């Protein structure tokens, strides 16, 4: 605005002022200011401009407030996840925090004396018929040689569950015979029935193919048991987890000779890679607090040997390498003190520290040295 423009103030203008109670109350109600039309246009333009700017800032401020509320909600949620109260009463070992685990009210698993749920019914599995006859030459009396008479009404049926591409029931028809009326031998039974087919677990309805499928899924393909059982249920074969656990316990002794042969083979080699990691085993062990066990692995050229042990001491690898057949072996490992003690106790073992752990150990050593100095 041009400051040379004359601005006049008058208390007695030509136009009479508008009288009102509110106007009379203000200090400058009786004064008039005269400006040019150019100045009025500029003032109106500036007023409109700043009013528009104010509205834009108000809208932007409202958006920023909403964004701030959303971010504060996210921060609060993340803080609750990291620092909030957990459902577990004791997140670490009782020996580390000094908290004690509550003793379970009753032992895990099926309570003794309680009735079981019985064998699971599987009415939707297809049935494949098969027949088993007495061995050739045993269908007659071994004393007099008279042939036994075929008696179909006394045949017995035995069902075995198999898993081959699709779960099904293989029903064996076991032929039955009765002694010939002319046979006067007293040592023979009244009904002779073909024997049961050989099974891995006696009195189990599951055939060997089922346990082969379980072992391959668990140890060859590293598939969790509950996931494999869900897969079998999708095929129409629901199986209880307790059935699998109990069956694996029963067939474990079958693999003991294989385990011993693998151990003997590994002890003839001279280069090993060793490591260990924590492993949760949910069993109650006398003298041990908590469920933290350790999985030890010893890998050689032809064998990978696993050991699950509640201890992380030198006794575990010491017992494993007690059967070494070489005068000098090399163990590639990290700088865990148990391996160093093992090398001190044995003149046969020589350690080769893994270079993957070297930068981390150097960093820890430098930080410790700086803190000491």
User: Helices then strands (H, E): number in the chain?
Assistant: 10, 13
290 and 206 within one domain: no
349 and 288 within one domain: yes
Q: Which of 222, 238, 261 is the last residue of a domain?
A: 261
303 and 254 within one domain: no
From the list 306, 109, 301, the residue with the least C-alpha distance to 222 is: 306
Taking only the tens place, the pLDDT of each residue in 245-291 is 999 999 999 999 999 999 999 999 999 999 999 999 988 888 888 89
Do 262 and 305 contact (CB within 8 A), yes or no?
yes
Residue 353 lies in a domain: yes
Residue 191 lies in a domain: yes
281 and 240 within one domain: no
Residue holding tokens 């003690």?
A: 341
Residue 307 lies in a domain: yes
Residue 8 lies in a domain: no
End-to-end CA distance of the chain: 73
Euclidean distance between CA atoms 175 and 150, whole angstroms = 8
Domain span at 135: 123-197
204 and 192 within one domain: no
Do 340 and 346 contact (CB within 8 A), yes or no?
no
Residue 189 lies in a domain: yes
Residue 24 lies in a domain: no
255 and 271 within one domain: no
233 and 327 within one domain: no
341 and 294 within one domain: yes
Token duo for residue 272 = 């090993």
360 and 274 within one domain: yes
Q: Which of 215, 230, 261 is the last residue of a domain?
A: 261
Residue 36 lies in a domain: no
Whether the CA torsion 132, 133, 136, 142 is positive or negative: it is positive
281 and 221 within one domain: no
Residues of the chain with pLDDT > 70, as a percent, come to 82
Residue 11 lies in a domain: no
Token duo for residue 334 = 């990290």
pLDDT for residue 262: 96
Q: Which of 241, 261, 281 is the last residue of a domain?
A: 261
Please list the ranges in the chain whose pLDDT falls under 50. 1-11, 13, 19, 23, 91-99
Q: What angle do CA 330, 332, 334 make, to 5 degrees?
A: 140
Taking only the tens place, the pLDDT of each residue in 131-152 is 999 888 888 988 888 999 999 9
314 and 254 within one domain: no
256 and 271 within one domain: no
From the list 296, 281, 279, the residue with the least C-alpha distance to 339 is: 296
- Count of structural domains, the chain: 3
What CATH number is given to the structural domain containing 353? 3.30.420.10
Tell me the pTM.
0.54
Give the containing element (helix H, strand E) for 68.
helix 37-83
């Amino acid at each position: 605005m041009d400051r040379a423009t004359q601005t006049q103030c008058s208390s007695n203008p030509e136009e009479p002022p508008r009288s009102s109670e509110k106007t009379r109350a203000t200090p400058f109600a009786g004064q008039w200011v005269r400006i040019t039309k150019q100045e009025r246009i500029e003032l109106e333009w500036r007023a409109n401009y700043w009013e528009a700017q104010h509205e834009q800032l108000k809208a932007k401020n409202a958006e920023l407030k909403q964004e701030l509320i959303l971010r504060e909600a996210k921060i609060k949620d993340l803080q609750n996840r990291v620092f909030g109260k957990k459902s577990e009463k004791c997140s670490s070992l009782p020996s580390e925090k000094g908290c004690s685990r509550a003793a379970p009210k009753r032992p895990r698993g099926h309570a003794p004396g309680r009735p079981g749920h019985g064998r699971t019914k599987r009415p939707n599995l297809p049935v494949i018929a098969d027949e088993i006859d007495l061995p050739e030459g045993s269908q007659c009396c071994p004393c007099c040689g008279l042939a036994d008479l075929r008696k179909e009404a006394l045949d017995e049926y035995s069902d075995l569950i198999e898993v081959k591409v699709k779960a099904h029931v293989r029903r064996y028809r076991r032929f039955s015979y009765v002694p010939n009326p002319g046979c006067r031998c007293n040592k023979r039974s009244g009904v002779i029935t073909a024997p049961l087919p050989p099974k891995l677990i006696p009195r189990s309805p599951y055939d060997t193919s089922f346990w082969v499928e379980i072992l391959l899924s668990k140890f060859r393909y590293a598939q969790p048991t509950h996931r494999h059982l869900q897969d079998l249920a999708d095929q129409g074969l629901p199986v209880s987890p307790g059935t699998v656990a109990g069956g694996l316990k029963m067939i474990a002794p079958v693999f003991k000779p294989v385990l011993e042969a693998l151990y003997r083979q590994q002890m003839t080699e001279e280069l090993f890679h060793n490591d260990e990691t924590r492993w949760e085993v949910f069993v109650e062990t006398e003298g041990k607090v908590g469920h933290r066990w350790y999985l030890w692995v010893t890998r050689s050229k032809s064998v990978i040997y696993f050991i699950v042990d509640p201890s992380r001491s030198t006794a575990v690898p010491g017992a494993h390498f007690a059967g070494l057949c070489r005068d000098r072996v090399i163990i590639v490992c990290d700088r865990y003190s148990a391996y160093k003690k093992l090398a001190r106790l044995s003149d046969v073992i020589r350690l080769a520290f893994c270079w993957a752990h070297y930068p981390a150990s150097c960093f820890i050593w430098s930080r410790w040295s700086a803190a000491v100095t």
